């Protein structure tokens, strides 16, 4: 369905702007009026990572007048495979500042607003209120639900994207004209059910495919052209090279945008709502978490331990803690791992950051290994505090 333009046009385009955007201006559907709307638009990109990189670059090139960038992270070398807005010289630099520099280089006519901070329930409403449109490039469920809730409460549309390995999804959520994110996903998935890109990986170029679609949708909303992805979920399979879309209907019983909403303000704690780890895992790790340095001391002292790496084989090939036996988390879930655990040694579990090993620890403790522990921070902590010569990922 076509929608009215989101933004009123600016008064005029300068001679420099006419030259720069001439290929837009000669498209009848965009023309002078559409480019003036882009100039007058204020768009916030949440995240300057995989999706945020192409989104920010093409929004800048398209002539969006004001671009906001919010990201609290710093550039890591492992980002460069897909986060093309950053370069080698930016490693260690705040992502928001690095991205802003690239945007200014692409188009000095764009006003860039840098929010070098984490998006939280304390600041999201104030930050969002200064923009016409939100482009969501986040990679965790807690932030996605917070972005959705804030956008609905403020009456703002936002363009959503998601990527994992070879698969991508995109949609436009605007409660005034269609469903919101909660209509599609009323509840977050169970903890550990959906791996993050940091755990499962992502094909770098997939970011460009989905990020570009997000920009395409943003331009359509701002200028009022075409048929935006409101009420439709676009699904992309890069391996099969197939696109398909699925209708998403507004849920009349949605707790946020339905007929009788019960969520009328931001939640107090989105991390708790989404559950980084299950209640069982949280109980298991209480008093049973050691640091990487403590693990190193246990090894140096010759303690009788059995160190288990619960990551996937391809992760183990990248980097592993010396002495660790690989038993992927899936084998704990189906129970086959338990028969491989020695009864006469203390079980020590680890993964990349600690979430998967916490879930495995709950299973191990329930099986009777009461003195089992896991390594908080996992391999990342080992590389950082014990052996920085090892690669991180």
Give the residue numbers marked as catalytic.
197, 351
**SS3 per residue for 276-302:** CCCHHHHHHHCCCEECHHHHHHHHHCC
**SS3 per residue for 2-35:** CCCCCCCCCCCCCHHHHHHCHHHHCCCCCHHHHH
Alpha-carbon gap, residue 336 to 57, rounded angstroms: 48
Alpha-carbon gap, residue 334 to 67, rounded angstroms: 48
Question: In the numeric block, which tokens belong to residue 114?
Answer: 């840098």
Alpha-carbon gap, residue 165 to 200, rounded angstroms: 7
């Amino acid at each position: 369905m076509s929608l009215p333009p989101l933004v009123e046009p600016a008064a005029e385009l300068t001679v420099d702007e006419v030259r720069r955007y001439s290929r837009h201006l000669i498209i009848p559907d965009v023309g002078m009026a559409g480019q003036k709307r882009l100039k007058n638009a204020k768009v916030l990109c949440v995240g300057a990572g995989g999706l945020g990189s192409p989104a920010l670059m093409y929004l800048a090139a398209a002539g969006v007048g004001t671009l906001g960038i919010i990201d609290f992270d710093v550039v890591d070398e492992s980002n460069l495979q897909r986060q093309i807005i950053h370069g080698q010289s930016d490693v260690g630099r705040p992502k928001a500042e690095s991205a802003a520099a690239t945007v200014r280089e692409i188009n000095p006519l764009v006003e860039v607003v840098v929010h070098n901070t984490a998006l939280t329930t304390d600041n999201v409403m104030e930050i969002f209120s200064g923009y016409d449109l939100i482009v969501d490039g986040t990679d965790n469920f807690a932030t996605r639900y917070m972005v959705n809730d804030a956008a609905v409460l403020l009456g703002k549309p936002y363009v959503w994207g998601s990527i994992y390995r070879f698969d991508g999804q995109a949609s436009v959520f605007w409660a005034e004209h269609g469903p919101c994110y909660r209509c599609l996903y009323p509840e977050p998935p169970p903890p550990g059910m959906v791996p993050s890109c940091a755990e499962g990986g992502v094909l770098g170029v997939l970011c460009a495919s989905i990020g570009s679609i997000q920009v395409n949708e943003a331009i359509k909303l701002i200028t009022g052209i075409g048929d935006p992805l409101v009420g439709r979920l676009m699904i992309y399979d890069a391996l099969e090279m197939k696109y398909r879309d699925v209708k998403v209907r507004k849920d009349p019983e949605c707790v946020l945008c339905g007929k009788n909403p019960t969520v009328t303000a931001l939640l107090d704690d989105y991390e708790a709502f989404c559950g980084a780890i299950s209640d069982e895992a949280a109980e298991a790790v209480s008093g049973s978490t050691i640091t990487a340095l403590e693990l190193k001391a246990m090894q140096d002292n010759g303690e009788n331990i059995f160190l288990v790496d619960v990551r996937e084989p391809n992760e183990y090939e990248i980097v592993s803690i010396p002495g660790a036996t690989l038993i992927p988390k899936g084998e704990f879930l189906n129970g086959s791992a338990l028969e491989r655990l020695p009864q006469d040694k203390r079980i020590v579990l680890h993964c990349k950051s600690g979430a998967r090993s916490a879930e495995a620890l709950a299973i191990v403790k329930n099986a009777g290994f009461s003195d089992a522990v896991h390594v908080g921070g996992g391999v990342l902590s080992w590389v950082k505090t014990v052996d920085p010569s090892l690669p991180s990922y």
